[in-house]
Amino acid sequence: MSKNNLDHLIIKKTSVLPKPKSKVGRPTTNPNEKESETIALKITPLELAAVKEKAGVAGLSTYIKHYIRTNTELFK
């Protein structure tokens, strides 16, 4: 075998085009269904303690949203 033999040369093909984006991860939400608005609410410390007790391990905002959606007709 001589030094100038190119039989074992490996040529890598590189693409000039960009790679397609993979569809890994959480799907995008509809902009109309995205919860992006906030409401500020002032309550007394006793009321806050009562809401925290009822919420349990759930977050306060999660509990309040669930309560409003299930027990009132405000969002219908």
pLDDT for position 1: 56
pLDDT for position 72: 94
CA distances from 40 to 2, 37, 43 (A): 80, 10, 10
pLDDT for position 11: 80
pTM of the model: 0.59
What residue ranges do the domains of the chain occupy?
37-76
For the four alpha carbons of 13, 17, 18 and 21, in that order, the dihedral sign comes to negative
pLDDT tens-digit profile, the chain (76 residues): 567 777 777 787 887 888 888 788 888 888 888 888 999 999 999 999 999 999 999 999 999 999 999 999 998 8
pLDDT for position 68: 94
pLDDT for position 2: 64
